[in-house]
Amino acid sequence: MKEQDIPDLNIFMMCDKLNENALSDLPSGYHIRNCRQDELELWMEFPFDNEEDKINYKDFMENYYNNVYKKYEDKFYKRCLFICDENDKPITTCFIWKAYGRINTMHWFKTLKEYESKGLGRALLSYIMKPLKDNDYPIYLHTQPGSFRAIGLYSDFGFKIVTNKTIGYKNNDYEECLPILKEFMRKDKFDKLEFVLAPKEFDESAKISKIEEF
């Protein structure tokens, strides 16, 4: 299987305690700031590495923003973060969002492909997670096997793969994903993956609405 052929399957992860050994500082020459209102279209294109996907997923991203964030627009812009270069160009994004008003979830973690392997993703996760208090946990996220590099990074911070069969209205495909992760992840990263049964609150919260919020 080639990387571009990895299927879009569901993986859920949960962190109930930060591994402080994963923390890192922001590399020199970069800074962190909030997304601005005039950058919303840019943010919507951020998850996609090519122009075709940006076009094909435009309606999806607009609907997602309108369904999940628009009624809390001020909060979105206060939470949504960018790492930018010295020219203020956004390079990495991520933020924590209280999905369904109940559970803390990691949203839209992405580094532009040409800036990967520079430690920027680790630095932004560090910036986000270091100030969290005990009662902010657990933190949940939804990802796919194609994000195997990010999965290794999440694992460093203390995220474990959730083993519940379903989460809300989605199937949890982690068993089908494990052979894919084993093939594509570095062996040391794959061997360190941990697994956890998420509390009922996670599944119950995801069933509050059929509108997906993470």
Q: Report yes or no on 3 lying in a domain.
A: no
Same-domain status, 75 and 52: yes
Mean confidence (pLDDT) of the chain: 96
Query: How many whole angstroms separate alpha carbon 174 and alpha carbon 162?
Result: 8
* Residues 74, 114 within the same domain: yes
pTM of the model: 0.95
CATH code of 79's domain:
3.40.630.30
pLDDT at position 111, please? 97
Residue 4: predicted pLDDT: 87
What confidence tens digit (pLDDT) does each residue in 135-157 have? 999 999 999 999 999 999 999 99
Q: Are 75 and 90 in a shared domain?
A: yes
Predicted confidence at residue 99, as pLDDT, reads: 96
One-letter identity of residue 194: E
pLDDT at residue number 177: 98
Domain count, the chain: 2
pLDDT tens profile 78-129: 999 999 999 999 999 999 999 999 999 999 999 999 999 999 999 999 999 9
Looking at the fold, whether 29 and 85 belong to one and the same domain comes out as yes
Residue 7 has pLDDT above 90, yes or no: yes
- Could you tell me the pLDDT band of residue 193, with boundaries at 50, 70 and 90? very high
Are residues 50 and 83 located together in one domain of the fold?
yes
* HEC string for the chain: CCHHHCCCCCEEEEECCCCHHHCCCCCCCCEEEECCHHHHHHHHHCCCCCHHHHHHCHHHHHHHHHHHHHHHHHHHHHHCEEEECCCCCEEEEEEEEEECCCEEEEEEEEECHHHCCCCHHHHHHHHHHCCCCHHHCCEEEEECHHHHHHHHHHHHHCCEEECCCEECCEECCHHHHHHHHHHHCCHHHHHCCCEECCCHHHHHHHCCCCCCCC
Question: What is the predicted pLDDT for the residue at 40?
Answer: 98
Residue 100 domain-assigned? no
- For residues 33 and 119, membership in a common domain is answered with yes
Query: Omega into 138 within 30° of 0, i.e. cis?
Result: yes
User: What CA–CA distances, in Å, run from 56 to 33, 34, 62, 153, 214?
Assistant: 28, 26, 12, 28, 20
User: Residue 175 is part of which domain span?
Assistant: 8-23+137-208
Tokens found for residue 206: 């995801």
Encode pLDDT of 43-62 as tens digits: 999 999 999 999 999 999 99
Q: Looking at the structure, do residues 45 and 71 belong to the same domain, yes or no?
A: yes
113 and 179 together in one domain: no
Mean of pLDDT values over 19-40:
98
Q: Does the residue 67 lie in any domain?
A: yes
For CA atoms 64, 65, 71, 77, the dihedral sign is positive
Q: What is the pLDDT of residue 1?
A: 87
The reply to whether 154 and 193 lie within a common domain is yes
Q: What mean pLDDT comes out for the span 190-209? A: 94
